[in-house]
């Protein structure tokens, strides 16, 4: 067993997206700040309706997947395929843009707290033009692994905890992503597996915690070193909630133009023509 260390910290920057939704963006704040296979990670969270009420009106995507995890709030997804999904407390929406999808994500509340995360997961070249798809994952479908001093909600991937093998709600992607929401009580510690060769990060969104002897920064992508197959986490006095996100690198060129992510400039130009001519979702 070799423990991974903290390699780099990318603080999230406040910005806005959609029709004016206030967010904090770590991975993806610039196009050269990525962690293969992850393109972007946004944290959203506010009790002020003005920060989220405009939502994300109808817009296109091609070439990757979006994973939206709602901690508190209510958002409605609708797309050109006729999918309609209510994203509520603890739920996840996993959307495969593939060759093309046009969708909207609109708040279904006029007051109260809305908070969660959206992750963009790249697709390899061989899968970029696959059929678009959508999955609405209800909270009760997400395995919750309880251990002394905490628990793990395993959204994607597989994980062995205290000698028991667990499989998340999504476990069939070629990049073998791991997406786990880790809750630790005050002073609690846990050691969790991270596959050798996976790029990985930790995102602390509540409380305080350390990775081995290194303090994790809150609202930041805490990038892990390349070597090792385990992480050792310890929560501070107020406990901690954090995301573990890891995946197998694709190792291909990335050319991005807004909501389109392909491998070459020529493919982006073709995508723009397809969108202009109404062929993006054909």
What integer best gives the mean pLDDT of the chain?
A: 96
DSSP letters for 28-88: TSSTT--BTTEEEEEEEEES-GGGTTT-EEEEEEBSEEEEEEEEES-EEEEETT--EEEE-
Q: Are 216 and 11 in contact (CB under 8 A)?
A: no
Using the 8-state DSSP alphabet, how is residue 271 labeled?
Answer: H
Please confirm whether the linkage preceding 95 is cis (ω < 30° from 0).
no
Q: Are 48 and 243 in contact (CB under 8 A)?
A: no
On the question of pLDDT at 1 being above 90, the answer is no
**What is the average per-residue pLDDT within 150-157?**
98
Q: Using pLDDT thresholds of 50, 70 and 90, give the confidence band for residue 19.
A: confident
pLDDT digits (tens, 9 = 90+) for 201-247: 999 999 999 999 899 999 999 999 999 999 999 999 999 999 999 99
The share of the chain scoring above pLDDT 90, in percent, equals 95
On the question of pLDDT at 162 being above 90, the answer is no
């Amino acid at each position: 067993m070799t423990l991974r260390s903290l390699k780099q910290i990318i603080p999230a920057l406040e910005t806005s997206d959609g029709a004016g939704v206030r967010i904090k963006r770590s991975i993806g704040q610039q196009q050269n700040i990525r962690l293969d296979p992850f393109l972007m990670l946004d944290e959203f969270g506010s009790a002020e309706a003005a920060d989220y009420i405009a939502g994300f009106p109808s817009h296109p995507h091609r070439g990757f997947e979006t994973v939206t995890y709602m901690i508190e709030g209510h958002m409605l997804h609708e797309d050109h395929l006729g999918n309609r999904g209510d994203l509520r407390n603890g739920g996840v929406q996993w959307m495969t843009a593939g060759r093309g999808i046009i969708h909207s994500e609109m708040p279904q509340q006029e007051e109260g707290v809305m908070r969660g995360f959206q992750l963009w997961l790249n697709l390899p070249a061989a899968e970029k033009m696959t059929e678009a798809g959508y999955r609405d994952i209800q909270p009760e479908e997400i395995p919750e692994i309880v251990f002394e001093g905490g628990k793990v909600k395993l959204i994607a991937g597989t994980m062995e905890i205290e000698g028991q093998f667990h499989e998340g709600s999504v476990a069939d992607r070629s990049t073998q992503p791991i997406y786990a929401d880790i809750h630790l009580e005050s002073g609690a510690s846990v050691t969790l597996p991270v596959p050798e060769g996976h790029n990985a990060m930790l995102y602390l969104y509540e409380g305080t915690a350390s990775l081995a002897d290194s303090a994790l920064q809150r609202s930041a992508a805490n990038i892990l070193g390349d070597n090792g197959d385990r992480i050792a986490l310890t929560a501070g006095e107020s406990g901690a909630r954090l995301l573990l996100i890891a995946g197998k690198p694709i190792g291909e060129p990335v050319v991005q133009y807004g909501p389109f992510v392909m491998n070459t400039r020529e493919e982006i130009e073709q995508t723009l023509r397809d969108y202009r001519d109404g062929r993006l979702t054909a």
